[in-house]
Amino acid sequence: MKAQDFLTVRDMSQEEILATFDLALDMKADRMKYADALKGQSLAMIFEKPSLRTRTTFDIGIQQLGGYSLYLSPAEINLGKRESVYDVAKNLERMVQGIMIRTFAHQIVIDMAEFASIPIINGLTDYSHPCQAMADFLTIKEYKGDFKGRKLCYVGDGNNVAHSLMFTGARLGVDVTVACPPGYEPNLIAFQHAVEDAKATGARIEVVHDAAEGVKNADAVYTDVWASMGQEAEAAERRRIFLPYQVNEDLMARAKSDAIFMHCLPAHRGDEVTDGVIDAPNSVVFPEAENRLHAQKAIMYQLMKK
């Protein structure tokens, strides 16, 4: 990776993404081969939002590479209130070798990367979830073998996950369709970025409002919760609006017969997905979750290796 930081998949070229996947798969096949790769390196993990998978995979990942982690909750930092982003960056750059941050505003990770002289990894913002998308497309590579001619349909809210799926699909030449209710489309600038990036690979990036049409010929069908963290007050209204976009057996039947089902988790069973879909043989949600570990190890290795 040429960039010092990992803030969005758009920071990487197609070649860098594919090389990261190869590294991640090698790490997955032989964990001990990289057991001392980041020996003595430390990763500060800043959490403004809670998480099962992000915390576990970064914490275990850095340890499996020979390093160690430090968990920092909102109580310790409270970015922009107790301490400024600048002050936090300038303190941590003298104490650790990398920072992973999971927060709300994307500008926070941009500022952190500007102010800190050590690598910054975006563990999630309201705009982008790049580590998740890297794990997702690593999973597609494992189950489908290649990317050429593939189609992923994301059904649901045009959120940070949808943005990162579009960015990654555009880089890799994978068609990405976002099927969402009117008024819940992806951020327009994010969509335009993806469409522009897709010109180099021939990928088709589109937004539709008909879920049945969207999943047609899809190799992978993907969904996420209807109300993300910070949107709890909208949950009841969103459930009413998104119910026609539930990924159930009927909707999956409209995709390719060998289509896989994906979800970034946590899942609200009975809302965005039925038990019959998430527990079906073609569901890859748990291997997908595991791949967060391997994809992030590859990212940390490339950014933090001295």
List, by residue number, the catalytic residues: 102, 129, 132, 224, 264, 292
**Residue 93, CA distances (Å) to 86, 87, 174 in order:** 11, 10, 37
The single-letter code of the amino acid at 134 is M
The runs of H, that is alpha helices, within the chain are 14-29, 53-64, 85-92, 106-115, 130-144, 160-172, 188-198, 211-214, 235-242, 249-252, 275-278, 285-304
- In this structure, the number of other CB atoms found within 10 A of the CB of residue 269 comes to 13
Helix (H, G, I), strand (E, B), or coil: what is residue 230?
coil
Q: What is the DSSP letter of 85?
A: H
**For residues 67 and 41, is the Cβ–Cβ distance under 8 A?**
yes
Closest to 47 (Cα-Cα) out of 129, 136, 122, 128: 122
Give the separation between CA 224 and CA 214, rounded to whole angstroms.
Answer: 15
Phi/psi of residue 44, nearest 5 degrees: -85, 130
Residue entry with tokens 């990894």: 121
Helix (H, G, I), strand (E, B), or coil: what is residue 167?
helix
